[in-house]
Chains A and B, each alone.
Chain A
Amino acid sequence: MKHKWAMAIDLDRCTGCGACVAACVAENNIPTVGEAEAGMGRLMQWIRVARYWDEEHAGANAVYLPVLCMQCERAPCETVCPVYATYHNDDGLNAMAYNRCVGTRYCANNCPYSVRVFNWRDHVWEKPLDEQLSPDLSVRSRGVMEKCTFCIQRIRRAKEAAAAEKRPIRDGEVAPACVQTCPPGALLFGDIEDPDSEISRKLSDPRRFRLMEHLGTEPRVWYLKRRKGAGL
């Protein structure tokens, strides 16, 4: 069964609360780096909520733009990796083989969305935070790149469950942590290979666009343009 996982982000609904970021940190064993390192631009988070102002004056409205790995179909990060540590998997996702990465950081430079983060050091989880590390994925060592995987461990779980029951994955069965958490329901995840899935219907919305589409990276993350002003 072939899948084409995709995400839709409705900017009309996004409130910029940052729950997606917290959920992602909890799900994917993402370290917190502390104020000093964060100030240097070394946050490890796989999703960021970029805040822009719609006009340049006091009292302007904020525009929130959640940015995560776009899972590009023509991913610029993949071609430049000298060791195939980042590659395209059968579901069309950009996968990372942490053990193969040597840390040239070329992929991060070539990613126009700058969503790749680098392990500048070995991270520690103070007790008892280490107890909550997920066993479904590794804790990355210093010197390797990492990025959003669309919660590949959840996709695998769903595939296994579906295979055990000899049925295809149901629409809505898989949701990455950010999608599951988003309080206003701005994020939607699904399989665009299935024409009847919720995301396929959602993407017929004329508001849809993709980030930096002119670069030809063919992202798998679609945005739905904001129509209303904040608070309306």
Chain B
Amino acid sequence: MSGDHLSRVDPEELYRDLSRSNLPPTKRWYLVAGLLLLVVLWGTGCFVYMMKTGMWVTGLNRPVMWGVFIATFVFWIGLSHSGTLISAILRLTNATWRAPILRGAEAMTAFTLMVGGLFPLIHIGRNWRFYYMIPYPNSRELWPNLRSPLMWDAVAINTYLLGSLTFLYFGMIPDLAIARDRSTGWRKRFYSALALGFRGSHSEWRRYHIASTLFAILIIPVAVSVHSIVGWDFAMAKVPGWHSTIFAPYFVTGAIFSGIAGVVLVMAALRKAYRLERVLTTVQFENLGKLLCVMSLLWGYFYFAEFLTVWYNRNPEEWEVFRSYGGHYLPLWLSMVVCNFVIPFPMLCMRRVRRSVPALCFVSFLVVIGMYAERILIVVPSLARRNDPFIWNNYFPSWVELSILAAALAMFLLLYIVFAKLFPIVAVSDVQERLFQATDRAVGRTTVETIARPEGHGEGGHG
């Protein structure tokens, strides 16, 4: 560990360091936010145009009735799995290194779900009638069809969104209390209202720890089920290339894979923008790099398993879909395999890459690209090479679709920078708790960070 290790930093200075994102916005912030807002407005305009004139402004056709909107939906929902992994699974496994990244990852979960959840609504032909899918009492006694995987999807994603928002807010309460105690003016009133009178007494902390453990345990099955169900949107259908039992675990794996890559990118951006180098150290990045390495391997395994069964079986309907990966869709297929496995896996095996933030960011960027290519490959070729060769057709998104995709990305970034401006983007209390437990010990010629665990129950702070 370097000379300015955190345990030698006093709490006031630590808070100042961690809350730098909450400083009054600069001109540059307004410029960035304004640009993002412009992109969002442009995309919204495109959406309204599409709604008014019909879906013919997209590249969709028969048989490719689902296109980039659905692929992007799957992609964003996949990214959302990062936060749950970092805050819930790593919490239960007692990985204390996660403290500085957990808030950023949880916020990412909430915002990717918000953005991703819009896509099914953007995608449907009569958006203004979306409420037909809600089971509301009506005089015609019409109900949604619960046999449809789309209904499972709607239920799962709403549950996950509500759950992760609650999780995000709940975990923030002690940090909001710290912010309340150190702020003035409207911010003071804002944080006071949100901190719900948290004082940090022993009983409050005890309840807080019990509740956060419960939240962590409850959110994991929700997260796993959400992406399983997204996988079942495809696997339940009688479409060659979709109808496969491997889809649920394969989707969850892919989701966590892209989620971790997303967290690496967001964390690197936060670290750069708010000079968080002292809390977001190579420890965090190396550990994320290790996780990414494992997920890359797992993804490769699942893909191999799926490919092998189809290749060996040579069921003509399925094989035509796979053949198109080597034909019309070869560029997409190559980007997927290269960006998801061929480059990331060997690179992440190297300690040098995992410990270098730019290198890790490069790999994560590749993974995000590769996973996006994978989502498109799942949705489009299976439809484009349906059972009847007479209607085979290809698909390329139109400028309207691409504008809406850009707007979604801008919306995510905008939500994120506004959140970082208003809320503690680093979990201050968790970092403090971790520092409280950590000491540097000399082992031979080097110093090693050691973590003491609270007696009785082996857990860190909120997870």
Q: Which residues of B contact A80 (CB under 8 A)?
A: 147-150, 236-237
A214 to B62, CA, bound (A): 23
Q: How far in angstroms is the closest Cβ of chain B from A9?
A: 15
Q: Which residues of B contact A117 (CB under 8 A)?
A: 62
**B390 engages A48 (CB within 8 Å):** yes
**B145 engages A119 (CB within 8 Å):** no
A215 to B59, CA, bound (A): 29
Query: Is A104 interfacial (CB-CB < 8 Å)?
Result: yes
A214 to B63, CA, bound (A): 21
Q: Which residues of B contact A22 (CB under 8 A)?
A: none
A93 to B382, CA, bound (A): 28
Report B375-402 residues with CB < 8 Å from chain A CB: 383, 386-388, 390-391, 393
Closest partner residue, chain B, to A105 (CB atom): B65
With contacts A42-B62, A103-B126, A104-B124 known, is A120 near B145, CB below 8 A? no
Report B130-169 residues with CB < 8 Å from chain A CB: 130, 132-133, 142-145, 147-151, 154
Report B57-80 residues with CB < 8 Å from chain A CB: 59-66
Q: Which residues of A contact B53 (CB under 8 A)?
A: 121, 142
Q: Which residues of B contact A109 (CB under 8 A)?
A: 63, 65-66, 237, 239, 383
Q: How far in angstroms is the closest Cβ of chain B from A61?
A: 16
Contact for A82 among B54, B145, B388, CB less than 8 A: B145
**A82 engages B237 (CB within 8 Å):** no
Q: Which residues of B contact A125 (CB under 8 A)?
A: none
Closest partner residue, chain A, to B120 (CB atom): A104
Query: Is A112 interfacial (CB-CB < 8 Å)?
Result: yes
Report A1-60 residues with CB < 8 Å from chain B CB: 37, 40-43, 48, 50-52
Contact for B388 among A42, A113, A116, CB less than 8 A: A113
Task: Identify which of B55, B125, B142 gathers the most chain A CB atoms within 10 Å of its CB.
Answer: B125
A166 to B62, CA, bound (A): 44
A82 to B120, CA, bound (A): 12
With contacts A83-B144, A104-B124 known, is A120 near B54, CB below 8 A? yes
Binary contact track A199-231/B, C-beta < 8 Å → 1, others 0 = 000000000000010010100000000000000
Report A95-127 residues with CB < 8 Å from chain B CB: 100-106, 108-110, 112-114, 116-122
**B125 engages A101 (CB within 8 Å):** yes
**B133 engages A110 (CB within 8 Å):** no
Query: Is A79 interfacial (CB-CB < 8 Å)?
Result: yes
Q: How far in angstroms is the closest Cβ of chain B from A44?
A: 9
With contacts A42-B62, A114-B387, A120-B54 known, is A102 near B236, CB below 8 A? no
Q: Which residues of A contact B125 (CB under 8 A)?
A: 101-105, 118-119, 142-145
Task: Identify which of A42, A52, A144 gathers the most chain B CB atoms within 10 Å of its CB.
Answer: A42
Query: Is A92 interfacial (CB-CB < 8 Å)?
Result: no
A177 to B81, CA, bound (A): 53
With contacts A109-B66, A109-B237, A212-B387 known, is A142 near B149, CB below 8 A? no
Interface pairs (16), CB distance under 8 Å: A37-B56, A41-B391, A48-B390, A76-B238, A79-B145, A80-B149, A82-B150, A83-B133, A84-B144, A104-B124, A106-B148, A108-B62, A109-B383, A114-B62, A142-B53, A212-B387
Spell out B's residues near A (CB within 8 Å): 53-56, 59-66, 120, 123-127, 129-130, 132-133, 142-145, 147-151, 154, 236-239, 383, 386-388, 390-391, 393
Spell out A's residues near B (CB within 8 Å): 37, 40-43, 48, 50-52, 65, 67, 76, 79-84, 100-106, 108-110, 112-114, 116-122, 141-145, 212, 215, 217
